[in-house]
Amino acid sequence: MNTISLAVTKKVATYLAANPDVRERQIAIKDASPEIRASLDKATKTSPVTIRLGQRINLIVGDTHAIWRSHNTSRQAEYDRLFDLLALHPDAPMLFTCEIIP
């Protein structure tokens, strides 16, 4: 089973506390199974990768090491809820099952 480990970093949480701009929200990719990592290593803004977390949440990844809110304009509600959950414990990665969506 492929997995991905995600976190909101303390640096991002601190920055957003002083500058509450939701457009600056990012979720750090801390670790990923080799198959997932290989796909994410190719992710760019112009060539994004779609992932599915926990068989439920689809997100667009347009960066090799972070998932940005700005790349998920059509999924902002899910993104924001996930961000808020992860931000409860900054720098504490949460592990999800993960698959790449073609």
- DSSP, residue by residue, 46-98: SS-EEEEETTTEEEEE-SSSEEEGGG-GGGHHHHHHHHHHHHTSTT--EEEEE
Residue 68 has pLDDT above 90, yes or no: yes
pLDDT category of residue 24 using cuts at 50, 70 and 90 = confident
DSSP 99: E
Domain spans, the chain: 3-101
Interval 63-92 mean pLDDT: 96
What's this model's pTM, rounded to 2 decimal places? 0.93
pLDDT band, very low/low/confident/very high, at 10 (cuts 50, 70, 90)? very high
